[in-house]
Amino acid sequence: MSKQTTTRRKTVKDIAAAKAGTPLVCLTAYDAPMAALLDPHADVLLVGDSLGMVVHGLPSTVGVTMEMMILHGQAVMRGSDQAMVVVDMPFGSYETNNDSAFLNAARIMKETGCQAIKIESGTYAAGQIAHLVERGVPVMGHIGLRPQAINVDGGFRAKGRTFGERDRVIAEARAADEAGAFAIVIEGVAEDLAAAITAEVSCPTIGIGASAACDGQILVTHDMLGLFDWTPKFVRRYADLSTSISDAVSAYAADVRARKFPGEAETYALRKPAPEQR
């Protein structure tokens, strides 16, 4: 039996309303417990292919599979009930042709129950976006720094810092917008470029390393919570959970080695029978 809830999830129309209203709050989520904590505060939970690096320890997002995205997408859906859940399409799942893009997107939506998918949308992907939208698949675009293109770019680096690159990023934004993307993630570009794109496209823009000029913001939750020693320039740490977790585990290990844990409070005792049972 499916989970019964009276809460309404946010829809494409809700996200579109941010173009002229309150900025969108977006965060990544990869599992049910974290999704449950983020859900009351977020408009969008993105099951990003960043899970390959954040959760699975891969060197980049290129090795992420459909099965990984679906597994984590299912978990996030189970842990949330009001935020729109968007699942990334992994490298190699949409670039070849429109039909393969639709079949893979449809599989993700069917098996996870998510409300939309996201693709890294160079100008080449405009055809796939239009094809998907026409067939009932809401698409979030992703322009600028595109992590799946790391092997072409030679690493993670900001985009649009030369006139040639600037023109390419603007072209990516126009192509995604005209093809019907309901929102566009802009990653790793200068503030003036993010502002120019946001002013030009009809759909909301969601920045990550793209300044407050966008219509919303997204961060990798693990970065924002301080779970890693290093964070990118564009991340503001709102907590230092790495230290808190390390301290907690250190205290637990010390108690175990000193036989202080488990103590009486954490130990089961034999139940004494009731008097009438003696």
Q: Which pLDDT band, with edges at 50, 70 and 90, does 72 fall under?
A: very high
Check whether 49 is labelled as a binding-site residue: yes
Instruction: Confirm whether residue 242 is marked as ligand binding.
Output: no
- Say which residues have a Cβ less than 8 Å from residue 17's Cβ, sequence separation at least 6: none
Provide the percentage of residues in the chain whose pLDDT is more than 90: 80
How does pLDDT run across 126-150, given as a tens digit for each residue? 999 999 999 999 999 999 988 666 6
In this prediction, residue 1 has a pLDDT band, given cuts at 50, 70 and 90, of very low
Q: Rounded distance, CA 215 to CA 25, Å?
A: 9
CA dihedral 176, 179, 182, 183 (to 10 degrees): 10
What angle, rounded to 10 degrees, do the helices at 126-134 and 163-179 form? 20
Number of neighbours of residue 49 by Cβ within 10 angstroms: 29
pTM for this entry: 0.92
Give backbone dihedrals phi and psi of 191, rounded to 5 degrees, phi first: -60, -45
pLDDT, tens digit, 9 for 90 and up, residues 210-219? 999 999 999 9
Query: Within 13 Å and on the Cβ side, how many CA atoms surround 192?
Result: 6
- Cα torsion 49, 50, 52, 55: sign: negative
Burial class (CB in 10 A: 0-12, 13-18, 19+), 111: middle
55, 47 Cβ separation under 8 angstroms: no
User: Does the annotation list 159 as a binding residue?
Assistant: no
Q: What pLDDT, on a 0 to 100 scale, did the predictor assign at position 153?
A: 64
Q: Does 191 qualify as catalytic in the annotation?
A: no
Domains and CATH numbers, the chain: 12-240 (3.20.20.60), 245-277 (no CATH)
Select from 16, 47, 27 the least CA-distant residue to 215.
Answer: 16
How would residue 31 be classed by pLDDT, with cut points 50, 70 and 90? Answer: very high
pLDDT at 82 over 80: yes
67 annotated as belonging to a binding site for a ligand: no
Rounded Cα distance, 242 and 248, in Å = 10
Confirm whether residue 110 is marked as ligand binding: no
Among candidate residues 67, 95, 165, 187, the one labeled active-site is 187
Biggest CA–CA distance in the chain, Å, is 90
- What is the per-residue pLDDT across 89-113, written as a single tens digit (0 to 9) for each? 999 999 999 999 999 999 999 999 9
* Residue pLDDT, tens place only, 145-191: 886 666 556 555 656 567 678 999 999 999 999 999 999 999 999 99
